[in-house]
Structures are given as C-alpha cells and as structure tokens.
Chains A and B, each alone.
Chain A
Amino acid sequence: MDLMPCIKELWAALLPWPLLHSKRHSKRSNLLDQGIKTTTLSLDDLHDSVLVEILIRLPLRSVFQCKSVSSRWFYLISTSYFANHFNSHCSSMHPHPPFTLLIQRNCDLFLSLNKPEFKSFKSSNFIATPNPVHNSNNKSVFIVEASCNDLLLCSSSEFKPPFQLTFYVANPITKQWVVLPPVPLFGIDYRVGFICRYDNNDTLNYRVVYIPPYDAESKEREIKVETFISEMGEWSESMVLCPGDFGRRGVPYKNLLFWWDNSCGRLIWFDPYSRECYRFFEHPIKLDPYHSIECHGVYADCLRRCRISKNPLGACHGCLRICQILKNPQMILRLWELKDYDDNGGGKWCLEHEMHFDEMVLEKYPRLREYINGDYCPMLVAYHPNDRDVVYLIINFLKFWVQGNNVQQLMVISCDMRRKTLEVVYDKPFMPRIRNRFISYRNLFDVFTLVHLWWPTPISSLS
C-alpha cells in the first residue's frame, strides 16, 4: 500500500493540529499563573514547526525511523516543508552531498565509496529487489542505464518474443522503485536519457527518453523517439529529424538532455519536457583546434565497441564539460567547459584544463607509472559533480579491456588536473560472471555517478 497519495488529503484534515497544540500550551500557562503544577510535557505538546526543528537535526536514517513513532510524526516528516528544512539544515553544515561512482561490469555493480550513506545499497540486493523477473531465464538482462542525482534508470531486456524492454526508475538508497510500461526492443544499440526535477508543487517528475536503434547513415530520415512522462504514466512517441550519430547516454543538464555527436564534433540536445517541441537542435561547436581523436590499433577497436567511449560529455558544478584524451605523441588530457550557455543555444567552449600525463605526480603510486608511459590508454569514466579540478579515469583501460574475461585488476583513479595528482578510488579485481551469451556479446562496462542527496528523492507509484 502506497501511503504517499493520501498524504495531502490527510494532512489537510490534520491542519487543526497547530491550533490544538497552542490551545494546550496556553492552558498550561494559565495553570502556571494559578501556581498549579503542570503535567509532564511530551513532544506532542510542541508546535509542528518546533518539532521540525528538532527532527531535522537527526541523521537521515533516524528521521525515517521516526516515521514509525506516531501518525503525526509520519505526516510531518512526509511534507515538503520538512524535506526543505532538512535540506537547508544539511546544506548549511556541509557544502555538498556525498556521491559515489557506480561501476557496472556485465551484471555486477560496484561502489567506489563505502560510506555509511550507501550502506543499504549492496549490489546483489539491489539487482534482486526491483527486478521481478530476476534473470531466472537466460534470455533477459538487467542493467543500469543512467543516473540522475540519486536516482537510477535500469532496464530489463527480454531477448525472446515479445522482445520487450522494461525500464525501472529506482532510488537505491531507499529501495523505492517503479516499473515503466514496456517498450518494444528492436536491438541492443538503443540510446537512453534520464532526467528528473521537482516541479512547483515540490512533486517529482521525470522523463525517460528511449531512442530505438536507427541507421545513422541516412541523415535526412526521421527517427522515432519515445518519451516517458511520469505525470501521465505513459510513453509518448514523436518523430524527429535524424541528427546523425551520437553517443548512447544523454547527459541531463538544465532540464535538457545532451548528447555528443562524435562524427561532427557537435552538441545535440533534446527537450523532454516541452511536449510541443520534440526536436533535435544542432549546435555546431568545434573543439578548436583539437577535435580529432587519434587512435589506432586495438585502442581504436575497443573505443568502437565500448559504449563508454562515446560519452565524453558530463556536467560539473553547473556547467557542461567535454574531455578528450589523446596520444600526440605523449598522453594529453584536455577538458573544455561550455560557458555562457543560454536557452537560445548560445555558448562557447573554453579550454579549462590541459594536462600532460608525464607531468603527473606519481610518488604515491609508483606502479602507475608503467600505465602512463606505456600503451595503456586512459579512459575518462566520470566527472566529479562539484570539484572542477577532478575527473575520474580508468588508467589501465586498454589492458583491462583486452584481457577479456580473465581475472584482472580494475583501477579507477581520481585525477586532479590542476595539481596533477592521482588518487586510486577503486582497485579491486573484477570477477566477471557471464550469465548468458547476450551479456558477453555486449561486453558491458559502464560508470555512473550517484549523488546521495541530503533528502532522498521519493518515487511514487505511477498514476
């Protein structure tokens, strides 16, 4: 039973609470005036706003446990008033909420950070819980597709008739999730985008964009785009002019979804919220003058096959960024930021960082030197959500990829581009368990950013 829809009505019915309590309090004052000893005060005697002041000073888990104390507490904690105050209080104590990298290798999920906030998120539990068809047959695959703040978009593909793709929106911390109505599965090279935001009533609404595979060569053709509208609980189809070839996963930024078109070196965006305007806007921006990626041999091959290489785009601290690592002749990392972006499509790419790998300070991790100097191409996997100097790389990506299904070490490092230092954030052997041939065919590897917002994003069931 989902109590959330009833909240508003019941809260309205409970509005007399504040009046009740002030009456009680003044009665007590009168008693005092007459010198009568008062009865024991309970927290229930305090006004709602005062009780909120107390509860927001509890850690998040304790707050949610307090929902079980009484119905008054339940409704109070469930209001957006409470969530906003909790958020403000936490933000005043810490600048940014914690986040972790979520690393997906085939069907396994790994966290790069094991803080207590992520305690309830254990990969095996999470995979099992929201998926009602838990990989029981060998013909379905359950993976994470995208992330937005503290929510994940997952999918379950059925490789047998009726060939369907089912999306899930989940909050891995609170274990809330919804199942979206399935869409037809035409192939595995589809593209996705996921974006969420709070509307004026502090209700969550989100969009899932699903673009089935299309022939990128035919540029003038229209392609089908399916958008899921959370408020309506259904998919809406639209046809847009084919913009060419672009990466798999859209980056949510300023209520739009952005993709990078590698063939033309341009930014493509799509507005999933405006229902009148399901079009791709083209914004030709040249990465001056370093827009070609030099790659050869095995590296080129793995770039082609690995979906992650097609996602050099990301967002950090309110700006879109794009990164390029190339060997020319030494390894160089360059990062551009989109400045002066406005809704009319204005904006300029500015080079923010340029780092030569051989300048990196490696005293702390001397063994990484072999990877920097050798032919192991570093790969950018994620941007830090707040720190503008930091990106996340897999430094031994080529070795990791080429070794295939043998046990190997996966090293994710955080790289401070300004100080030219490294920190190893994840360094564990991967034991890929190939569950079925569909997985090995896809050779799944992906990294997501999960931000643990101070107040978890609630997911209510679909209308």
Chain B
Amino acid sequence: MASSSTSVVVSNKEKENKNTKKVTLKSSDGESFEVDESVAMESQTIKHIIEDGCANNEIPLPNVTSGILSRVIEYCKKHKEAAGESEPSVTSYTSNSTTNPLTEWDTEFVKVDQNTLFDLILAANYLDIKGLLDLTCKTVADMMKGKTPQEIRETFHIKNDYTPEEEAEVRKENQWAFE
C-alpha cells in the first residue's frame, strides 16, 4: 500500500470552522491511516511521540497490523466524540455501565474472535490507551468468570504443565477459593 504523500498537515477544511491537525499512522503491514491529531492522542504513546516533536512524517507502529489499527482508530474516534459532547473533564473510561452512554457500543465493539481480542489488548497496551485496555481486559476476565480451571484452559488454549499431584496440592492450598 502506498503511503500518503502528505504527513502532518494543517487542515484547510473549513467545514467545521476548526483547524484540525492530522497525523498519519502507519501499520506494521505498511498501510497508512490519516487521523485527527486529537483522536490519535487518545493513545498516550502517540501523544508522547507528537509532543516530543518526533512526528515529522508518519508515525510507524510496527507492533500493530492494519486490521487492528483501523479498529483502534474507530474506538478512539468514537470515544473522542463522546467526550467532546460532554464536559471536557469527563473521560468515557469508566466501566460503570449505568453512567457510560457508550456501553452498548463498547459491548458490540468487543464481539470479536479471541485472536482479534488479544490483538486489541496488545495494541491497547502498546499504544497505552487506558479505556481500550480496560474494556478488552474486562471482556476476557468476564469470559473467565465462573469457569473451572480446566474450562479456562480449554477456552484459552493453555497448556496444563502441572502433574496431577502438583495440581491437587495447589487446589488443596487454595480450597477456600473453590467453596
């Protein structure tokens, strides 16, 4: 995919009577995404790069593929919009569903296969986007709740490296948690 010829530009679009600065993010597989700087700055990692003045051209993100990056950008855009509509000090990162109007959207957002979910977690961790990390980790945690250790292993393809004796020992030590 060819990268765009312009990088950081001061947008001349007057449609919203604002000058929106843009940045270009480049995924590991070479695709470029142009986004508003304010949206990109939902990621603390990108925020530091921009503030440090290193974002001259594109910002390369070698740990994030294009598929995941586009989703991440979607998340940031949606949450930035929502934050913009309410008070500036409100972050939409609360996990309290009764107050967060984006809860429904978030729930749909994480209805993806396990691989994608893990990739989103890794991307949120690398890009340091607290809300997304919170949302994705909570989703995986909720998948674990109520499952026995064996069921957790099966769901998440984890290898059991305990001998039967060791496993019985660990279980006995933590018997209170199973009651």
Contact = CB atoms under 8 A, between A and B. Distances in A.
A119 interface: yes
Contacts of A66: 144, 149, 152
B65 interface: yes
A72 B159 CA distance: 10
B167 to A, nearest CB: 6
A46 B171 CA distance: 24
B63 A42 contact: no
Contact of B118 (A32, A41, A60): A41
Interface residues of B, number: 43
A66 B114 CA distance: 19
**Interface secondary structure of B, over-half rule:** helix
B177 A45 contact: no
Interface in B122-177: 122, 125, 133, 137-138, 140-141, 144-146, 148-149, 152-153, 156-162, 166-167, 169-171, 173-177
B50 to A, nearest CB: 24
Given A50-B122, A69-B158, A32 B28 contact: yes
Nearest to A172: B176
A42 B157 contact: yes
Given A32-B29, A33-B28, A55-B141, A67 B174 contact: yes
Contacts of A32: 28-29, 65
Given A70-B162, A71-B161, A120 B140 contact: no
A34 to B, nearest CB: 10
B63 A69 contact: no
Among B125, B140, B177, the most chain A Cβ lie within 10 Å of the Cβ of B177
29 contacts: A29-B28, A29-B62, A29-B65, A33-B29, A41-B119, A42-B157, A44-B157, A46-B118, A46-B121, A46-B122, A53-B121, A54-B121, A55-B141, A57-B141, A58-B145, A60-B177, A63-B177, A64-B174, A64-B176, A65-B149, A65-B177, A65-B178, A68-B174, A69-B160, A70-B159, A70-B161, A73-B158, A174-B174, A174-B176
Interface of A: 1, 3, 25, 29, 32-33, 38, 40-47, 49-50, 53-55, 57-74, 119-120, 173-175
Given A59-B145, A68-B167, A71-B161, 13 more contacts: A40-B114, A50-B121, A50-B137, A54-B121, A65-B148, A65-B177, A68-B171, A69-B149, A70-B153, A70-B159, A70-B160, A71-B166, A174-B176
Interface of B: 28-29, 62-63, 65, 114-115, 118-119, 121-122, 125, 133, 137-138, 140-141, 144-146, 148-149, 152-153, 156-162, 166-167, 169-171, 173-179
